[in-house]
Amino acid sequence: MVANLPPDYHAKEAELKDAKTPEEKIAILLEMMAIMPKHKGTEKLQKELKSKIARLKKEATEKKVISRGSPIPTIEREGAGQVIIAGPPNTGKSTLLASITKAKPDIADYPFTTKIPQPGMFQYQDIQIQMVDTPALSSGISENWLGDLLRKSDMILMLLDLTDDDILDKMDETMNVLEQFKIKQQNTWEFTKKILWVGNKIDIPMWKDIKNILCELYPLDKDLLTISAQHLLNIDTLGELIFKTLDIIRVYTKIPGKPPEMKNPYTISARSTLEDLAKSIHKDLVKTFKYARLWKQGKGNPIIAGREYILEDKDLVEIHAEDMK
């Protein structure tokens, strides 16, 4: 029996007795780990809890193969792209969604607050990007639908907590789940999805030390954007990097003889041609397309461009089509 454990800890212990599923038990045990003071006197207890969690995770994974019937959450894609905010527990995923969109997810200082995915729209300059908050990536707890959601998305925003002493364990676990979901190849740093790596909570000074520890083991040095979701630090850069990672461009259009439509640009994959643009405007336009007058951003005179012309961000396009009558 360890003396001097905080009352919260004992409350969780009581909760644990009532928990039924391995998932519930793991969530409570992780909370107990978080609450427990970390010193010599609690080392044995920490070990016990860790091995209990490991056992339950194994049990949960085995059970998952046969459990069926619960509704599978899916999120319909909206806007210029779908970005899934993923990561270990308590890294600030829900805080980020609440900070940059109008969505109101639950936020709490204990793990596994978020149980189902929740979308919100992020306004980046003149386009809207869909951000989806998700439950933590955790082996034994993460369900297959989360893997589906990640694989179907346009990109993953992997949010890490740069104030977490256990960041290496969390990364290890995250990598395992990504492998299980077939998003990461085993023993390589290769992913089948575009991932933007983001370190959160840089309003707390210790972040630099933890970032160094992280970068010693993972090739993230140049690729890790550091932010504070709570204090809105580096959010402009986050927007730019999301836009860049989505690998899309904006194209404004105008109808001959009318002023340009500069409010609602089309968003299409980078390196798309005028023909691709025509396709996304209307299927008939692909057949009737003759040429386009095209203005480069900041240049006064239009150029005349054909189907194969490769578009760039912020091009303004006036399509001329054959009369089908």
Please pick, from the candidates 114, 130, 138, 267, the single residue that binds ligand GDP as defined by CB under 6 A: 114
Residues 99, 85: Cα–Cα separation, whole Å = 13
**C-beta closer to ligand GDP: residue 18 or 109:** 109
**C-beta closer to Mg ion: residue 106 or 261:** 106
Tell me phi and psi for residue 86, to 5 degrees: -125, 170
C-alpha dihedral sign at 230, 150, 154, 283: negative
| Residue 174 engages ligand GDP in binding (rule: CB under 6 A) | no
The binder of 203, among ligand GDP, Mg ion, none, by C-beta within 5 to 8 A per type, is ligand GDP
Per the rule left: phi > 0, alpha: psi between -120 and 50, beta: everything else, 235 is: alpha
CA 112 to chain centre: 16
The binder of 280, among ligand GDP, Mg ion, none, by C-beta within 5 to 8 A per type, is none
Q: Which range binds ligand GDP by CB under 6 A, 12-20, 51-59, 107-115, 276-284?
A: 107-115
| Residue 200 engages ligand GDP in binding (rule: CB under 6 A) | yes
Locate 253 and state its tokens.
Answer: 């259009």
CB 214 within 8 A of CB 167: yes
| Residue 91 engages ligand GDP in binding (rule: CB under 6 A) | yes
Locate 36 and state its tokens.
Answer: 């427990």
| Residue 204 engages ligand GDP in binding (rule: CB under 6 A) | yes
CB of 203 to ligand GDP, least distance (A): 5
CB of 248 to Mg ion, least distance (A): 27
Please pick, from the candidates 230, 245, 280, 288, the single residue that binds ligand GDP as defined by CB under 6 A: 230
| Residue 94 engages Mg ion in binding (rule: CB under 5 A) | yes
Tell me phi and psi for residue 295, to 5 degrees: -105, 125
Unique residue bearing structure tokens 């459990």: 67
CB of 11 to ligand GDP, least distance (A): 18
222-228 contacts, C-beta under 8 A, 24 or more apart: 223/197, 224/160, 224/197, 224/198, 224/199, 225/196, 225/197, 225/198, 225/199, 226/162, 226/198, 226/199, 226/200, 226/202, 227/96, 227/198, 227/199, 227/200, 227/202, 228/200, 228/201, 228/202, 228/203
**C-beta closer to ligand GDP: residue 94 or 174:** 94
Size of the site for ligand GDP (CB under 6 A): 20
| Residue 82 engages Mg ion in binding (rule: CB under 5 A) | no
**C-beta closer to ligand GDP: residue 26 or 305:** 26
**C-beta closer to Mg ion: residue 103 or 281:** 103
SS3 of residue 2 by DSSP: coil
| Residue 114 engages Mg ion in binding (rule: CB under 5 A) | yes
Unique residue bearing structure tokens 């960041």: 167
- Contacting residues toward ligand GDP, per CB under 6 A: 89-95, 107-109, 113-114, 200-201, 203-204, 228-231
Residue ranges binding Mg ion (CB under 5 A)? 93-94, 113-114
